[in-house]
Structure 1
């Protein structure tokens, strides 16, 4: 019994010694690998950063050497300042810098590459910035900070601008270094300034934190120069656990046992006085050391167990044979189940293929049916249009035949006056037929309106001029209402430059001619026909209401009022396209066309109700120069009959 205890104690001591040795070797090997990788990463990153900074080091000097920049800083004339802005903009674009600008000797920026933008540096004072102070003294300014105007961090390089040996200003180039050092959170990389403030970091939560407490004068200097404006600079919770040789430390970020630990290595960049800090996680090294220790312990225990193996060989062989038999049986059962499952899956796959084929055939039949329905719908619409156009054109064609025959007879008799009247009638009938075809063309074409401005008063003047003969005997009242002001009479001979709608001139006149023509048709049978046209100007829209004292719109007609080819007029008096085309024009121009029956009031100028059509269009603000130009570019009026 005593010998067994001594043997077990010796084995335990040997196990502890072997595990300790394995832990030490694995830990040291992992730390050395981390340090080598960190050194390679530091070299690569430092070279990339210094290459970027050195590439732009001479750009402020070259900008300041330009005669235009020197002249502008010495005597900032407006035209030369504009040229300097464009020059800096071109230089900044070709150099691919963030911003390039020049500052006068008193600290005021007078020209910048971002002079066009809302965050332009032009007119801003930078006399408190260290890079300006250093360059104004004749040195080279290098500074990293957050912009006071753009609020974007950047690296500033400045050079003095000399003219005739005298410093007249400072040229500055701002570089955006947010791309550096990337976003690799697994191995954090950060850059600190000469005060120990982290201004570049792959971990956003560490940005603008300090690696060591700041003195009061340093905090005051940062606040005075607005280096990190609007940022609460607080210490990073870092604690050193172990100091290694070669300038490396094992540190812990945060508090508590679960706070991550890193191998911290530092590299000085030289000029500027920055430090590149690499944080290599120690967790993988700990895991590797732990795994190596465990594997070593298992190996040691395995070697110890080999001593007892010869005593258990027979029993183990029997156990292996028994286990092999059970495993073969399990494999056979598994193969049977796999075969059954494969058969089930094959049957299910066949059913699925049949369903897919059936669905494909059904979808093909559905598409064919849809194509037939679309074709039938097209043929039905074509039949409706053919019937309407045939009836509309039959009467003018018959009249043309009759007038042409009569004209030939009158010419043979020498009755030239009567023949001249017949020719005028033939011209009128031809114009009517052209308008009928033009209506259909406008409805089908649906041309997209251009972004044009149309004076409302001029469009009303042209529309009323075209309908002059039909307006004889009809009382027409024109009023205009602007904002909350009272209504006033509208004089169509004046252009009213403040009443401009966003619509093409010809299309607006076309809608007005159609609405006024419909109103004339509605009041044709009344004893005292009246039409009221009220232009209501609002801040963003213009409403044109055309109201009459006719019989109004029946309730059953109202839902179909704007349908194509729907009309309440007798056959031959219209195709039913006028209101459909007018509604389409209003929609294309970004407006609406609505209809309702007017009540008995004084706002619409009627005394017995009637129909009221309201055209709403977007209002366009124009200046005086554009309004004067519109007075000399009045297009000819055109319209249509309904």
Structure 2
């Protein structure tokens, strides 16, 4: 024991080195994967934001472009010029109604006419409580720019309506009668679209004040703090009338870093684009949390892969040591598998021989039951044969004694009919008694029932009951063995006749029909029925409810085996004291492919 003690720390030192290697490789791989994934994620996010900015800028420009020439076009109307040149009440009323109609047709928010002093003399909202008529807007840049250069454009909160809008203006008239026609465009639908899409998109004016935003917290906040001069200028022209810009908190901590606060205090990464005509800044932002989560996921995956790779290298070393042992185990296992394979081959051969013996025994039982059924009908067949023979003898004797040629011919014909009757019975017996090959053919169910009725006719006559056959038309066709199916019908008819033999007024009915891809032979009797306890056993071999002990108790068992071989089934329903119904259900010939599958 003391000799082995000094060697113990070596495995512990080795295991610590392995753990240190694992951690170092994992940390290095995680750092590289995180850095690369985060940079690629930000680059992809910026590309998406730039694409969004392009679409947003185009939508804004197209919305403004729709109304760019509306003031010039509306100014060409004679009613506008008449109201500007001679502002009589009738001319002003005509101009008001014209501007109201144009506004309704164009979709603009408002359309109004200013005289040379900046006072509104006609407006589309003349008939509302917030009418522009009579108000002076000379302080607005869109009026001053239009008077000075012929065109004006300005975004502001309306001092009359309190609603923000974008104003486009054009100078009209010449000489002393100069005025301005202005249109107000409502850009709020754009903002509502951004809000419904939960898009962090905004527009700021040239001073950096946001006036349209998909995030409510950003509205009317400057990007950075405004200086006193800018605040004074915005207050003079009443751009954001009613908003305290001096108290508004700047949106950005640093003008060089577009890191924005989201609606839930999440970090957003922003990108900007400019609309040169107005000096506006379009802002689009998106959260960086998905990029960070993806980078962490990649870092975790890289660490795991690195650790797995390191472990795989160690496993390969150990695996080489196990290869020889496994090869020896494999050789031993192959020897055992070969031995077991030989045993299974012997078992398979024995099972095939047993199955062949069982099939032969089953065919023998089927033939035995067939001959037993013939035996059960032998007395009635003898009676059926004796009557035609006796009648034929009497008829031929009378023919010899007769002197009339016509009467002799009639009696000889009667004798021939009786002989045909005997031949038909003999033919059915010979056909029924032979062994049928195991081959399925197209079989007519009506013809099968007719043949079975011919065979059972002597027994039915002895019982005193004539089976009522109700065939369906056209005849149902199935794939089966005609003789074996005839044996099934014969067994069911004999059972039905036995059931009504001692019943007064007994009725036996056999019918064929088809539907839902199946054909059916139904045998119904009004006999004593089958007790519920016996009903579950009637298809068992050698089980019989007949007190006389006739038969082997194999009829229904063999019939069920035959019908199952044809892909069908036997349904038995019995009402004790009222009768029994037995149905043979087989697939129609056109559905046999589905049954086989």
TM-score, scaled to structure 2: 0.48
| Higher helix proportion (structure 1 or 2) | 2
- In our comparison, the structure showing a higher alpha carbon Rg is 2
TM-score, scaled to structure 1: 0.45
